[in-house]
């Protein structure tokens, strides 16, 4: 029988959990568009044979994928792949499947849109509630960004800057957001220039410093506006609407 979800190493039948192997195999394939949304998965008999599992294991795996919003089983019809907008992108496994492949422009666009919805408000909350220690931590991230000698060091400090602002905002739901999308934010490194240019690095750090200054001044409006500028500059650089020289801001 033709392998629909890639070759299954016979050794994995013994060393990997059957349930997890089925979820991984089908989930990754769905994210890759094979099969695409709207299509039906192969019949249970074919999947049981391909993965070498029982019908009970297959049924439980389908329940897991359904809970992620990826499939919808129907009696006498089959299991249909759900539209992408039904998928739970806050599910760590679904997010990892996207990042393990080549994320599309649409993936990054939606990530930026989510950031615009959350991060300016987080900066405003930080301006209202940040402690002296929070502000010192955020300032320290900018200092590391200024002294960074490579793109990887710079971008990691940049990410830690944004994480520190989420922490300073003090909203428990934000903690969950940043923990789940952190890997997605760091994946923007794939689309950035490998070496920072000093002029660009200074400008990006200055933009981030404006956020710190607004937070330290307890100016919620200025903090919100400064964060929005930083995110929009990042958007423009990723999608080619601004110069692509230098460091990719997060």
Tell whether the model's pLDDT for residue 209 goes beyond 90. yes
> Which residues pair with residue 71 across a beta bridge?
81
Give me the pLDDT at residue 250, please: 53
What 226-233 contacts at long range (C-beta under 8 Å, 24+ apart), as own/partner pairs, is 226/123, 227/119, 227/120, 227/122, 227/123, 227/165, 228/116, 228/120, 230/204, 231/112, 231/115, 231/116, 231/119, 231/120, 232/116, 233/204, 233/207
pLDDT confidence of residue 3: 55
Report pLDDT digits (tens) over 146-189: 998 888 788 888 889 999 999 999 998 888 777 766 777 766 64
Contact 225, 233 (CB under 8 A): no
Distance in angstroms (rounded) separating the CA atoms of residues 202 and 193: 16
Q: Is the pLDDT of residue 10 over 50?
A: no
Residue 198 in tokens: 């000093």
Q: Is the pLDDT of residue 9 over 50?
A: no
- The mean of the pLDDT values for the chain is 84
pLDDT at residue number 197: 66
More confident residue, 75 or 64: 64
pLDDT recorded at residue 247: 43
State yes or no: pLDDT of 12 exceeds 80: no
Per-residue pLDDT of 27-74, as tens digits, reads: 999 999 989 999 999 999 999 999 999 999 999 999 999 999 999 998
Q: With 0-12 CB in 10 A as exposed, 13-18 as middle and 19+ as buried, what is 146?
A: middle
Residue 88 has pLDDT above 70, yes or no: yes
Q: What is the pTM assigned to this prediction?
A: 0.72
User: Residues 187-198: what's their mean pLDDT?
Assistant: 53
Asked if 142 and 161 touch (Cβ cutoff 8 Å), the reply is: yes
> Given this model, what pLDDT does residue 168 score?
96
């Amino acid at each position: 029988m033709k392998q629909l979800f890639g070759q299954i190493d016979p050794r994995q039948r013994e060393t990997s959990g059957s349930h997890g192997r089925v979820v991984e195999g089908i989930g990754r394939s769905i994210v890759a568009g094979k099969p695409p949304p709207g299509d039906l998965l192969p019949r249970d008999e074919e999947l049981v044979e391909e993965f070498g599992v029982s019908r009970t294991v297959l049924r439980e795996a389908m329940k897991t994928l359904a809970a992620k919003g990826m499939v919808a089983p129907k009696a006498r019809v089959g299991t249909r792949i759900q539209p992408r907008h039904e998928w739970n992108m806050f599910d760590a496994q679904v997010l990892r499947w996207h990042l393990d492949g080549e994320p599309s422009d649409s993936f990054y666009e939606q990530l930026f849109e989510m950031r615009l919805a959350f991060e300016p408000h987080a900066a405003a909350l930080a301006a209202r509630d940040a402690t002296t220690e929070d502000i010192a931590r955020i300032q320290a991230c900018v200092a590391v960004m200024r002294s960074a000698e490579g793109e990887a060091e710079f971008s990691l400090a940049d990410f830690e800057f944004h994480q520190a602002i989420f922490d300073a905002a003090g909203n428990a739901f934000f903690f969950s957001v940043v923990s789940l999308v952190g890997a997605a934010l760091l994946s923007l490194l794939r689309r950035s220039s490998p070496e920072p240019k000093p002029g660009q690095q200074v400008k990006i750090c200055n933009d981030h410093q404006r956020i710190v200054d607004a937070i330290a001044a307890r100016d919620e409006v200025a903090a919100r506006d400064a964060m929005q500028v930083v995110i929009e500059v990042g958007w423009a650089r990723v999608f080619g609407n601004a110069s692509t020289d230098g460091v990719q801001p997060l």
